[in-house]
Structures are given as C-alpha cells and as structure tokens.
Amino acid sequence: MMRFVIGTRGSKLALWQAEHVSALLQAKGAETEIKIIDTKGDQILNQSLSEIGSKGLFTEELETELKQGLIDLAVHSAKDMPSVIPQELELIAFSEREKVNDVVLSLNNQLTLKMAVVNDFKIGTSSTRRRAALNHYYPGIHLVDMRGNLQTRLRKMEEGQCDAMILAYAGVHRMNMSQYIVEELSEETFTPAVGQGALAIETAVNLSAEKKAFLKATLNDVNTEYCLLAERSFLKTMEGGCSVPVFALGKLDGDNLILKGGVISLDGTRQIEGVQKGNKKDALAIGNRLADDIIAQGGLEILEEIKKNKK
C-alpha cells in the first residue's frame, strides 16, 4: 500500500484542506498521515503582509520539510505560492477550483461597500491587492489591517476592530461561515489573486515517480491546471508575490483559454489591465503575453513605485 505524509499549516482552514486531500488519497487506497508545520506567516501576526515581505511567508517551512524528505507532499492555498519555487521542488497538482470571488463579511447584514464609504465604516483586510482595489473602486474607504486565521478575524470583527472584512469566498465557504457574507464582489472588477480558490500540491522533484503519478492522477484537475499555469506564468513575468497588487483569472471556453489580469497602484489611482486568449496548451505563453502587454502599458512603473514604498 502506498503511504503519504502530508505537510500543512495548522490553521483550521489549512487542516480542512489537508484532510480533504487526505480523504481523496485514502479513497484511492493510500494510507496517509498529516503533519502540522508552523510557518513564519502564522507566527508574525502583528505586522501587515507587505511589511514582512511575503515571499514564501506561508510556504518556506513546508518546503524545507519537503527538501529533507520529512513529508511527501505539502498542501497549500494556490494563492499563497510564490511565482518561483525552489528548483528541488515542483507543483504537481491543482485541485478543482472553488468559486473565485472575494466577498464582504459583516455582522450587519445591511452593510454594503458603498454604504461603508458614506458612513466611514472600517473595512478589514490583510491583502495588498484588495486594499488597492478598494481604494480604486471606493475612494475614501476606511481600511484597517486585519491579520490572522478566519476565526481570529471574525473575533476581531465581533470586538469592533472593523465593521466588515473582505476575504476569498473559498475559505469562508470551507469554514461554514457563509452566513456572514453580505456582498459578493464581481470578478470583473475585483479580479482575484492568482490561484485563488484552488489548492496547490507541492512535492520534491526526487519523490518517486510512482508516488508522483499517483498524486497527479488522484488530485489534479486538468482544467484548473491550465488556468493556473497561465496565471502563474503572468505572475512570474510580472515578478509579483502575494504582497503585490497583481491580479489574474484564467477561464476556459472549450479549448480556448481567456486570461484577464493586471496591476493596480497601492492608492488605487492607476489600474492597468488586459486580456489575452489562445489555445489552453499554450497557457504559459498566454501568461507571458499578458504580462508583456501590462508592462508595455506602464505596469512596471507601478510595480517599481510599490517596491520603493516598501523600502
């Protein structure tokens, strides 16, 4: 019998994701063990993601265990994955994608973002991309930094640290917290982070071919994979990490892949976006083309300005 040690972060959402993967593997006859690994992103909660510099913030410790052969696979939220991963490691599967939208959560079921601007309500988020998009679509909105797992953030909202918060639908749904959703944001305007809604399965390159084949056959959703390859290719060329307000969403229409993406300045005043299409088998090239298009329109200046602000 094939046996897998699954590495995961310790939050309730991360454990849900690892248990979901474990159940899929067990259903195919494998034996599994879940190993919880603390990451820097879980330990440092008193600084914003952009201040810490979030490259590998939620992945580095898991990757160390993969390299040392202490775990067979790491389960990540695909949106947490940096655009470049260590050469000894590889992403071998992406789970079927959940709904990709960002959502507004509040204890006030009448609250909307439009109303929040007028009433100076405090909106909590830890995402640089969401902050920039909120500044763009709702200028003057009152934003507060909101770190921690979903349960911690909900408690902070109950304590009055914010009136509402913005999160990915996927995590909210998986944690059975959908009753707090008061508004679903359109993916046309609030285009999600690269990989949002999918899980990424990472292994060491030297994991046995038999184990890798088993994992790919059991866990990989081919349609999601095409979309994420294009999105991650775009992110890599843009040199974005999850603390940069770069966004992209791939969609399939038959064999055609449509990739929409762009970049937005931190204050929301400048947004550059574009669309590229092509055969899904050219996913990587489509991502590169979109990045080249955004850079040609001035996207690089926005990214340079963001890097300067961080320093």
**What whole-number distance in Å separates Cα of residue 38 and Cα of residue 53?**
17
Question: Which tokens belong to 302?
Answer: 């926005």
User: DSSP assignment, residue 59?
Assistant: T
Q: How many helices (H) and strands (E) does the chain have?
A: 12, 13
Asked whether 201 and 92 are in contact (CB, 8 A), the reply is: yes
Asked whether 101 and 186 are in contact (CB, 8 A), the reply is: yes
Strand order of the β-sheet with 246-253 is: 246-253, 256-264, 271-279
From 253, 258, 264, select the one nearest 305 (Cα to Cα).
Answer: 264
From 297, 304, 245, 300, select the one nearest 274 (Cα to Cα).
Answer: 297
Residue with token string 């083309």 = 289
- Active-site residue 267, yes or no? no
Catalytic residue among 72, 80, 102, 163: 80
Residue with token string 């690892």 = 18
What residues are annotated to the active site? 80
